[in-house]
Amino acid sequence: MIIYGVKATPIATENISDSCSNCETPDSIQMILFNRYAHVFWIPFFPIGKTGTTQCLHCKQVLQKKEFTGNLRGKYEALKSGSKTPFWTFSGLALLSVLIIWGMVSSKQKDKKNAELILDPQQGDIYEIKKDYAQYTLYKVDHVDGDTAFVLLNEYETNKVSGLTGLKQKGDEAFIREPLPMLKADLKSMLEKGEILDIGRE
């Protein structure tokens, strides 16, 4: 469950020389400007505008922005235009951008590493294989002879990429002891076509 919502934080306060519309006390109005922001799990995500209230310091009458009349409305607009949106209300959005960039960089690094590993298969390399839609398994390099790598097929399949972790945990016994010859060039093209998803080397 994702908990999200809107919060407001006070960002400016000003005493206004107006008389209160309720108790008519002069110089008794305090205006507070709020910045509203969306939060997700209480992390401020992004700002969604400003709002304000006034309070009479004498009779405690509170007015919301929509109840402001001519003069108060003008004061509110002036206070609003003179105040900045706090940068921390963008925290979640900033964090998300960092995570997305980090994800892009690490995925590019993984691609680069796999492109190197596939050219030179080594005994014990584990290939994550996508056989078909929702059909994944593992190959393990048994030995290499010239241009050919001999791979062992895993006897299990899974319908999700995340299921491959479980297959790996089944260990060596889950690989069928019948080495299947595959040209290194074919392995390379399998990687390029996305049929080999990832390569693990101890």
* Residue 114: how many other CB atoms lie within 10 Å: 19
Stretch touching Zn ion by CB under 5 A, among 52-60, 67-75, 87-95, 179-187? 52-60
User: With binding defined as CB under 5 A, does residue 57 bind Zn ion?
Assistant: no
Residues 6+ apart with CB under 8 A from 123: 141, 142, 143, 144
Find the shortest distance in angstroms from Cβ 83 to Zn ion: 25
Environment class of residue 136 by beta-carbon count within 10 Å: exposed (0-12), middle (13-18) or buried (19+)?
Answer: buried
- Interface with Zn ion in residues 2-41 (CB under 5 A): 20, 22-23
**Which one of residues 59, 100, 161, 185 is an interface residue with Zn ion (CB under 5 A)?**
59
Looking at 118-171, list the stretches that DSSP marks H as alpha helix, in order from N- to C-terminal side.
164-169
Structure tokens at 171: 């260990």
User: With binding defined as CB under 5 A, does residue 58 bind Zn ion?
Assistant: yes
Find the shortest distance in angstroms from Cβ 59 to Zn ion: 3
Give me the residues paired with residue 55 across strands.
Answer: 30, 62
Find the shortest distance in angstroms from Cβ 16 to Zn ion: 12
- Report the residue number, 54 or 154, with the smaller CB distance to Zn ion: 54
CB 94 within 8 A of CB 178: no
Find the shortest distance in angstroms from Cβ 21 to Zn ion: 8
User: With binding defined as CB under 5 A, does residue 164 bind Zn ion?
Assistant: no
User: What residues make contact with Zn ion under the rule CB under 5 A?
Assistant: 20, 22-23, 56, 58-59, 61
